[in-house]
Amino acid sequence: MRSAERSTKQQFRSARNGVIASLLRSVQLSRSELSEITGVSPAAITEVTQVLLQRGLLAELPSLSTNGRRGRPIVQLQLQASHCYFVGISVGESSMPMVLTNLRGEVVEHHNLPACKTPSDLVKAASNAFQKILISSRIPRSRIQGIGITISGIVDAKEGVCRYSAALNWRDVPVAQLIATALRIPAWIDNDANAIAMGERFFGKARDMEHFSSIVLGRTIGSAHFMHGMLYRGHTDSAGEIGHITVTPRGTLCRCGRRGCLDTIAGGFALRDAAKSAGLSIRTMRELEEMALHGNAKAVKLLRNAGTSLGIAVASLVHLNNPQCVLFMDFEGFGNGVFRTATRQAIENNVMARFLSATQVIFSDADRNLLPRSAASIAAFEYLNSL
């Protein structure tokens, strides 16, 4: 009996997830369309949508005409974006953005927290910003269902603990518990790369993809992978450390203690240091790209070497995971210049033809809300998964 009940719950949950995912991708759908898209029986779709209607997550729109044909009018269903809201916080070593999003991942409020050196500083700043967001948005606290937090470093998502952040010099900090206690709302934490992949899966460019890899181009290089529609975390929740793949044995010493890691060649920190050593005065990657565009041989060499190393590492990833898409999120502002061109060329030159033809490569510029919005998607996922 217990096994049968468990199976029934799993089937309901699978059907519910399919309905929600479909309505996140489309503005409105009928029950028959949902059944066709999800492959779930009409009876199961009716059961799931009825539960979601009763809870207020769905709304029925005015019936559509049947164009004179017999039968019931077609009723369209739509997610109620304003049914609930989620807070997202991007924790880093500089200014920390906080956003409030609705159920569709749309940002309705934005606030910047000051840089926080200690966990207690973060709790205080988050509490103050949260009160300001409640006042400015005029949204009742009761409709905010969770808080998601991203942090650069090693994160134990299950326990809600930041195990180590080099940028903040934090070790074993129970960030989720601290924020949840202070704000009296459930909170979850994950690393930047996983959060971005989750955000793109639910609200962004990967909504139609079951298998994809997300590459984060920032001060360091991060990655995350969705397989069969689920985030792949690995045996010890540490999957995705592409930045520490060795690309040049006996190369530059990395902060991890090993030499020749991808981070030491293609990461923003490394490129700025390399540019300085080469006598190039830059503040941003866009400036380095501009130098390359105007024929500066040193800038061209740095960017081409970085892009080629990244592309080779990603080519190996494609062979291992066979994703539908590799989605690059550019936080450094390279633009469509030497770095991206070199990365694409290296992928194309090092991936077998049958993989290359089946793998889409997309570069996107990251906007200011991407990380906190991705953080909010963590809370949205947990909330929807608990229904």
pLDDT at residue number 6: 65
For residue 205, what are its two tokens? 């460019």
Residues 6+ apart with CB under 8 A from 119: 170, 173, 175, 178
CATH assignment of 2-79? 1.10.10.10
Look up residue 331 and give its two tokens. Answer: 């936080």
For residue 145, pLDDT beyond 50: yes
pLDDT band at 48 (very low <50, low <70, confident <90, very high): very high
pTM of the entire structure?
Answer: 0.88
**167 vs 262: which has the higher pLDDT:** 262
Give the pLDDT of residue 281: 93
* Section 9-14 average pLDDT: 82
Residue range 318-345, pLDDT digits in tens: 999 999 999 999 999 999 999 999 999 9
Start-end ranges of CATH 3.30.420.40 in the chain?
85-198+370-385, 209-365
Q: How far apart are CA 127 and CA 375, in angstroms?
A: 17
| 39 vs 183: CA distance, rounded Å | 40
- Least confident window among 62-66, 173-177, 188-192: 62-66
The pLDDT-based confidence of 65 (bands split at 50, 70, 90) is low
Residue 164 burial class via C-beta count within 10 angstroms: exposed 0-12, middle 13-18, buried 19 and up: middle
Residue-level pLDDT at 1: 47
pLDDT given for residue 311 in this prediction? 97
If pLDDT is split at 50, 70 and 90, which confidence band does 17 have?
Answer: confident
Residue 66 has pLDDT above 60, yes or no: no
pLDDT band at 72 (very low <50, low <70, confident <90, very high): low
Domain with CATH 1.10.10.10 in the chain: 2-79
pLDDT of res. 62: 76
Query: What percent of the chain is predicted at pLDDT more than 70?
Result: 96
- Residue 197 CB contacts under 8 Å (≥ 6 apart), including other chains: 206, 212, 213, 214, 224, 225, 226, 231
Instruction: Give pLDDT tens digits for 82-124.
Output: 999 999 999 987 779 999 999 999 999 999 998 888 999 999 9
- Whether 227 has a pLDDT exceeding 80, the answer reads yes
CATH, domain range 85-198+370-385: 3.30.420.40
* Cβ proximity of 376 and 88 under 8 Å: yes
CATH 3.20.19.10 fits 209-365, yes or no: no
